[in-house]
Amino acid sequence: MNINIKMPKLKFGKIKMNTVENLEELDIDYAKMQKENLKQKRTEPYETTNYKTVKEFFTRSIDKYKDRPCILEKPDHKEPYKTITYKEFGEDVIALGTAMIKLLNLKDKKIIIVGETQYGWYISYMATLCGVGIAVPVDRELPYNELENVVRRSKAAAIIYSPKKEEDIKKIKENVPEVEYFIEMKSDKPLEGKEVGINYLVSSGKKIVESGDNSYIDIEINPDEFKVLLFTSGTTSNSKGVMLCNRNLAENINAVNAYVKLYPTDRLFSVLPLHHTYESTIGFLLPIALGCSVAVCEGLRYIVPNLQEAKPTAVLTVPLLVESIYSKINETIKKSHKEKLVNSMIHVTNGLKSVGIDIKKKVFKEIYDNLGGNIRIIVSAAAPIDKKVGNWLEDIGIMFLQGYGLTETAPISALTPEYKPEVGSAGKAIVQAEIKVNNPNENGEGEIMIKSPTLMLGYYEDEEATKEVIEPDGFFHSGDIGYIDEEGYIYITGRSKNVIVTQNGKNIYPEEIEMLLDKVPEIKEVMVYGKSPEGAEAKRKDDKELIITARVIPDKEKIEELHGNISDKEIYDIIWEQIKTVNKKLTSYKAVKSLEIKEGEFEKTSTMKIKRYKELQKDKK
């Protein structure tokens, strides 16, 4: 999945901090606030739900929250958000499911869903999960030849696609005669041969339901039946097919409810791709279960205006996006010459919060307004994040949570409890799971092992690979390295596949070094790896000790701001000096010994992780 992510320039308004010039004018009932906040302190998980299937909470929510907003989507960039209610969403899902079974005979068949986040994606996924067949969400960035490969591997009977994928669909149509139907989102096209529009299916399905046919909604779901097929993100060269069931997805909802309180008034902001379980499960199924609404972001370059228009209360994201928001807001504060005032107010509000008085949202109102005004939760997952970013968000009053999991755990296996956050950790094992460290070293680090009802059924048509990762006792080999502290908080320090092993048996996890180098202002992105010595270097050494190497993309905009217009050689020298400073914080065997400057972008997965194996493959070529 070749996704070259380039973060857009985020633009936020000026931050004047006018609201703090006189705290007395904020009109705060300190005594009442203190009483309410101190009453809310807890140390144990919340009472949670016990869902076994997606259909359970789908049918409950479309009845209980029928008049509440469900999905908010912009018809185009110039128009305001259009709101679809739970009633409308429910009717469309049931109609689509009915038509797919009655008109297209797709019951129990595999259905590929490919396209950018939009209403058609949501109803397609929900209709499939609630009774049609097996959903196969696919990365919309796949080139047509790889999409064709997924069609063949999955043995898909239908492809539901967005209009932007039309050209790719045309290319593969002739090569996959086994595909029975090509269903286009946002299309009214009547059924003609193999082609049909999703809107036509929805309107046809409604007529069938109105005639008294409730066969689709009456379908009973087996919680443990294979219902979702996901091909892993390609951080390894051969993607595997992960098989999930309804129980895996429903247990994610139960798990989050035990640690985090969401309400029907909450609105989530969808910015990540839906083919990834992080977004499709936690960013879509979770809010549906709780009667929340979901606002669709138009794309990375529209994040700021969309936030300000949709006014979400929660954002699920990855470190790259959180860190970009943090950097840009702090740049704005600095340009407004308000950093000292902001820092002093952080100290004041932290002191008040410690005695049950939380006035952060009023004090930092301008920062909140830049993010839509209502943000209360930001969740970061999929990769480590700089601890100072999480601490800063907590300091201005935004709840910062981290999650941990894999596609194989659908995805949640650990999460930060909101009632006892621990910035820097990946959270605690979810209430239904058991997580342990396998063969820990002297620092307590080892491979993270997971036993959870969110764990996959296995790898698709690959029993041998399944047995390699799931032990007979049910524990799953995550491939992640980390440790667990005395309170049960999990810390991920690296990937076992990325480990660099020195000749004397020391393990170096590149992620640890990358976290430190990411803080260097002149570095935009970095990948650390062990390079085999070549030429004179190899001759000098009568061994095969790998050279710890940093491959760096310079932040040229920041370099020009800090150092003016300088040559490539000067850029190299400045970054090397910064690396030498970072090396002082590392034990000697972890020190970076070589620097490579990279032009262009790293190839990334959909969750913005660098595809290391692709980079190293390029070197071999």
Tens of pLDDT along 482-534?
999 999 999 988 877 787 867 655 678 788 899 899 999 999 999 999 887 76
Residue 600 within any structural domain of the chain: yes
Does 111 have pLDDT greater than 70?
Answer: yes
Instruction: Kindly report, residue by residue over 266-319, the tens digit of the pLDDT.
Output: 999 999 999 999 999 999 999 999 999 999 999 988 999 999 999 999 999 988
Does 406 have pLDDT greater than 70?
Answer: yes
3-state helix, strand, coil in the chain (%, to 5): 40, 20, 40
CATH number at residue 224: 3.40.50.12780
Q: How many domains does the chain have?
A: 2
pTM of the full structure: 0.83
Boundary of a domain, candidates 259, 280, 297: 259
Q: Which residues partner with 293 through β-bridges? A: 267
564 or 39, which is more confident? 564
Boundary of a domain, candidates 259, 274, 291: 259
Angle at 56 between CA 458 and CA 201, to 5 degrees: 85
Tokens of 410: 């659908």
Residue 583 within any structural domain of the chain: yes
Evaluate whether 89 touches 123 at the Cβ level (below 8 Å): yes
CATH number at residue 525: 3.30.300.30
β-pairing, 490-495 with 476-484?
Answer: antiparallel
Residue 582 within any structural domain of the chain: yes
Residue 373 within any structural domain of the chain: no
Residue 513 within any structural domain of the chain: yes
Residue 47 within any structural domain of the chain: no
Distance CA 113, CA 183 (A): 9
Supply the range of the domain harboring residue 150: 54-259
Identify the weakest region by mean pLDDT among 13-27, 155-169, 451-465: 13-27
Residue 505 within any structural domain of the chain: yes
Distance CA 158, CA 128 (A): 11
Residue 129 within any structural domain of the chain: yes
Does 237 have pLDDT greater than 80?
Answer: no
Instruction: Kindly report, residue by residue over 350-401, the tens digit of the pLDDT.
Output: 998 888 888 999 999 999 999 999 999 999 987 778 889 999 999 999 999 9
Identify the weakest region by mean pLDDT among 270-274, 298-302, 430-434, 544-548: 544-548
Boundary of a domain, candidates 259, 285, 309: 259
Show the beta-strand stretches assigned E in 105-249: 110-114, 134-138, 158-161, 181-184, 195-197, 226-231, 241-245
Does 335 have pLDDT greater than 80?
Answer: yes
Distance CA 621, CA 603 (A): 16
